[in-house]
Structure 1
């Protein structure tokens, strides 16, 4: 199991909340635990599923935003 904290920052868009929410919707049924916070989303699960979610989030957000920054912190700690 691994976990990560992900923050997505769409730039040059009027609808950043929509970009973020649509990106989060794209990982809804990926088989991971996902907890959305006010400034970050926490994802945990099997490594291959978590990595897939990170990629899916990036692809979904970058398709809807001219510029995008995404910050990811990954941990293999079980706590």
Structure 2
């Protein structure tokens, strides 16, 4: 028996695949970065944060640019100056918490500013209580060749 069809999963799959594309535009990145700079976040204790964000805008893009909204989110991360890796199911970024927290907000907002009707962001954050904190390289070094 064939599996039932779930049309809403098509948009989800497109958004997930779109995260692996690199953005070519920085218009939304600059606007979101300005918004992030004025975000009211408490001062950090000098730690280090690893965050992974997956944005799922609806729609993922436009007829002319299938991944326009996702690309805008990735452009914000690219312009942040922080270390990042784009993966198939999200983008990992690391740095000081006072830069990471506003960046996550700016990434989410960039999809809406790019024209998405709505967006869902799935965020995972890891930090330590001691200065230095976790690093992506420390966590995955033995698995990379």
TM-score by length of 2: 0.50
Structure with bigger RCO (C-alpha 8 Å, 6+ apart): 1
Question: 3-state SS of the aligned residue for 1:30?
Answer: coil
* Cα drift, residue 24 of structure 1: 1.0
58-67 or 13-22: bigger deviation: 13-22
Matched, 1:49 2:99: yes
Larger Rg: 2
Structure 2 gaps, min length 5: 1-47, 129-133, 139-145
1:2 — aligned with what? 49
Give the number of aligned pairs. Answer: 78
Task: Give distance in 1, aligned partners of 2:121 and 2:92.
Answer: 13
Task: Give distance in 1, aligned partners of 2:101 and 2:122.
Answer: 14
1:73 — aligned with what? 124
* Cα drift, residue 17 of structure 1: 1.8
Task: Give distance in 2, aligned partners of 1:17 and 1:72.
Answer: 20
Distance 1:38 1:29, change over 3 A: same
More helix by share: 2
1:60 — aligned with what? 110
More strand by share: 1
Task: Give distance in 1, aligned partners of 2:99 and 2:73.
Answer: 16
Q: Which runs of 4+ in 1 moved over 3 A?
A: none
